[in-house]
Amino acid sequence: MSRAGRFGLLGAAMSVALAGCARIAPQTSLEPQGPIARQIDSLIDPVFVVAGVVFVLVQGLVVVAMFKFRDRGQAEPEQIHGSTKLEIAWTLVPALILLAIAVPTIKTIFDMARPAEAADVLKVKVIGHQFWWEYQYEESGVKSANELVFPAGRPVELTLESVDVIHSYWIPALNGKTDVIPGRVNRMTVIADEPAEFQGQCTEFCGTSHANMRNTARALSEDDFAEWLSNQQEDANTPAPDTGAAKGLEVFNGRGCAGCHAIAGVAEGNIGPNLTKFATRGTFAGSIFENNRSNLKAWLSDPQKAKPGNQMIIPGAPLSNEEIDQLIAYLETLN
């Protein structure tokens, strides 16, 4: 291949690599939106600079050697073996570089591990399930699923537990990832600068639907959060008699939904997500579907088709279209 051809090929390969740089990347960890994530991010720049200098130096020398010493039929150069000075230099220099990088890194690791000390810290228990996240607000008794709702500007201490296998909790804009291990309690703190919505993802392979185990974190203003919390503490709304929603409640109890799902004042199942305030959530089923009528319909018609590998079992025959419409009418009243 000609030299121009080779450069052309290199250029094509590089543009393919650059096409991986997404403009809309909700799960990037390079745009921190809270002080903890910022502290982690601040480690990246100096390491990148050091790695960049090393890369240019090493590759530069390789290229120089390739051209300067290529075989032109000249006599073989003098053969030497070992150079104590060089051996010491290229052992010591990388060791010193790693040592310099280790100082801020280890300091950050210890900072991350320290529990939040602020008086106004909010404590939330996060429980990993195949394939969704449960949230328990310890002081208020609120139980929710898929969406972590919290006040912006305040530290939120998450205690991470799992009821089945190892998961890993990660909201890239707010903190690094932490494993969620059965029989063990891990901790992490998140703080968001401003009210905003963040995307997260389970990052430990936990079964067939691992890729569909996402989560949404919603930081609200103090007032909005107080309002959200007081609403979540109430029992579920009771549907007006003789409506589709009232029929939906009968379907919920009659078709076995109540065996797995809790609805405060109605049912106490504790296997699937608590649905008491289902309609206040923007997403469902591991936060992979927007909470709307057509997605609910697809989900309730054939959960395995909608989210392969998920653990929702509809006992007996599949739900009829009428039952699905009634259930959705009922779910829509749970606000």
Residues that bind ligand CUA (CB under 6 A): 128, 131, 167, 202, 204-206, 210, 213
Question: How far apart are CB 241 and ligand CUA at their closest, in Å?
Answer: 41
Give the integer Cα–Cα distance in Å for 239 and 250: 11
User: How far is residue 289 from each of residues 43, 98, 185, 296, measured CA to CA in Å?
Assistant: 35, 44, 29, 8
- State the burial class of residue 143 (Cβ atoms within 10 Å of its Cβ: 0-12, 13-18, 19+): buried
186: which 2 tokens? 């891990």
Which ranges of the chain does DSSP label H, i.e. alpha helix?
A: 3-18, 35-68, 84-113, 222-232, 244-254, 293-301, 303-306, 321-332
Complex with ligand CUA: residue 168 or 326, whichever CB lies closer = 168
Question: How far apart are CB 22 and ligand CUA at their closest, in Å?
Answer: 22
Give the integer Cα–Cα distance in Å for 321 and 323: 5
112: which 2 tokens? 């991350």
Complex with ligand CUA: residue 183 or 241, whichever CB lies closer = 183
Residue 327 DSSP SS3: helix
How crowded is residue 252: how many other Cβ atoms within 10 Å of its Cβ?
21
Complex with ligand CUA: residue 143 or 167, whichever CB lies closer = 167
Question: How far apart are CB 308 and ligand CUA at their closest, in Å?
Answer: 14
Question: How far apart are CB 161 and ligand CUA at their closest, in Å?
Answer: 13
Which amino acid, residue 192?
A: A
Give the integer Cα–Cα distance in Å for 197 and 31: 13
Question: How far apart are CB 186 and ligand CUA at their closest, in Å?
Answer: 14
Question: How far apart are CB 226 and ligand CUA at their closest, in Å?
Answer: 31
Question: How far apart are CB 210 and ligand CUA at their closest, in Å?
Answer: 4
Complex with ligand CUA: residue 38 or 177, whichever CB lies closer = 177
Complex with ligand CUA: residue 167 or 247, whichever CB lies closer = 167
Complex with ligand CUA: residue 33 or 209, whichever CB lies closer = 209
Q: Which residues pair with 190 in a beta bridge?
A: 156
266 contacts 249 by C-beta, under 8 angstroms? yes
Complex with ligand CUA: residue 33 or 212, whichever CB lies closer = 212
Question: How far apart are CB 125 and ligand CUA at their closest, in Å?
Answer: 16
Give the integer Cα–Cα distance in Å for 28 and 211: 16
Complex with ligand CUA: residue 233 or 311, whichever CB lies closer = 311
206 contacts 166 by C-beta, under 8 angstroms? yes
Supply φ then ψ for residue 281, to 5 degrees.
-90, 145
* Strand 214-220 with 147-151, pairing: parallel
